[in-house]
Amino acid sequence: MARRVVVTGLGLVTSVGNSVPQSWEALLGGKSGGGPVTRFDASKHKTRFAHEVKGFDPLLTMDRKEVKRSDLFTQFALAASVEAMTNAGFGDGTGFDPYRTGVIIGSGIGGIRTFEDQLDIERTMGPNRVSAFFVPMFIGDIAAGVVSMRYQAKGPNYAVQSACATSANAIGDAFRLIAYGDADIIIAGGTEAAVSRMAMAGFANMQALSQNNDNPTTASRPFDRTRDGFVLGEGAGIVVLELLDHALARGATIHGEVVGYGATGDAYHLTGQPDDHEGLQRAMRRALEDGGLKPEDVQYVNAHGTSTPMNDPNEIRAIRKVFGAHAESMNVSSTKSSTGHTLGAAGAIEAVFTTLALKHGIIPPTINLNDQDPECDLNCTPNVAVKREITAALTNSAGFGGHNTSIALTKWMGK
């Protein structure tokens, strides 16, 4: 029989806050992290705004030498991991068996800003001037490596890469590894720092990004009739997953329970999905089945909700097909309206928000939803947070390449 897995630690770095309390308060308050790009000169770009992290100080968790030798995506990951481990009661790095503790942290793009900077150096100054730290700064698995070294976690250690489903897959993998005995604790999630010249140019040229440059705080508008693309975000989301018996034995605060995980492939298109998002349907059904849940047990779905013309109605149709008539009585929302689309970090950031929604009985809103698309015809929780007792929820993620994930979480009832 699979072992039960609970959430005992939460960590966030987002465009609306550099911690869980800051981000949660901003989310419930309907704040947007959107604004003009400051990380580079975007004046010649089609899209000149993003959801950047603000006021972040890596020296709070790294020394100056470490900062100099790490990309921003790794800095975000470590900061969120330190918060999550502190929140879990492991802030001093003790209280757990390092050989039974793992790290699974992914990134959709990794150190792309380091890559751009070092490429400029190679072109202008020659290959001998490229940093000796270029490779370990750039590669996508290095965040997991750095976090494992910080906590001497010697259990399963790797990175996941499945585009915008990355960190949801990381959490799902961690859930499975604990459930089947490979570890007792895993630090899991994702991180992204892709507000960069190449990433923004590439996404804009494939017509994926919003070009609503005059309205950066309202451009991310999932399910709205006037949406015109996603808004790039950055940050990190980390959860500490723990074997229930281990958490109870040490008297840990339990934020929620992971009960189910579904992962599927579309095998359909590089960047699109079928009209009914059949792959996501199967992922949601698998998460429910894995968690022993019936559709009517679920009150809330944190949607992938990217604010793109294709994704939003397709996802709503998928939810309708999975939940049937019960879909009318659920709340759906997309927290990307506040944080932007953080690519490989999105699934974990949204898993944190979903866990908090279950714990506090508050459904975060979809902000900027003023003219709901008739094709997105469920209760998408427009603009204002809603108090509601939630006992079970799903959080969905999907990625270019046809990757689909759904994670089922339940409220911790003390048993």
Q: Closest Cα partner for 110 from 80, 68, 133, 77? A: 77
* Burial degree of 251 (CB within 10 A; 0-12, 13-18, 19+): exposed
Q: What are phi and psi of 63, to 5 degrees?
A: -85, 170
Q: Say whether 341 is catalytic.
A: yes
Gyration radius of the chain over CA positions:
20
Cα–Cα distance measured from residue 295 to residue 289, given in angstroms and rounded to the nearest whole number: 9
Dihedral sign of CA atoms 118, 119, 125, 128 in order: positive
Tally of helices (H runs) and strands (E runs) in the chain: 13, 14
The long-range contacts involving 173-176, CB below 8 angstroms and separated by at least 24 positions, are 173/104, 174/102, 174/104, 174/241, 175/5, 175/241, 175/258, 175/261, 175/407, 176/261
- CA dihedral sign of residues 321, 323, 327, 332: negative
Among 341, 376, 380, 403, which one carries the catalytic annotation?
A: 341
What's CA 56's distance to the chain center, in Å?
18
The tokens of 391 are what? 């006992």
Q: Active-site residue 380, yes or no?
A: no
Active-site choice (255, 304, 376, 380): 304
Bridge-partner residues for 11, per DSSP?
238
DSSP 232: B
51, 164, 246, 277: which is the annotated catalytic residue?
Answer: 164
Contact status, residue 137 vs residue 316, Cβ threshold 8 Å: no
- Whole-angstrom distance, CA of residue 24 vs CA of residue 363: 11
* Distance, CA of 224 to chain centre: 22
| Distance from C-alpha of 53 to C-alpha of 238, rounded to nearest angstrom | 16
Catalytic residue numbers, as ranges: 164, 304, 341
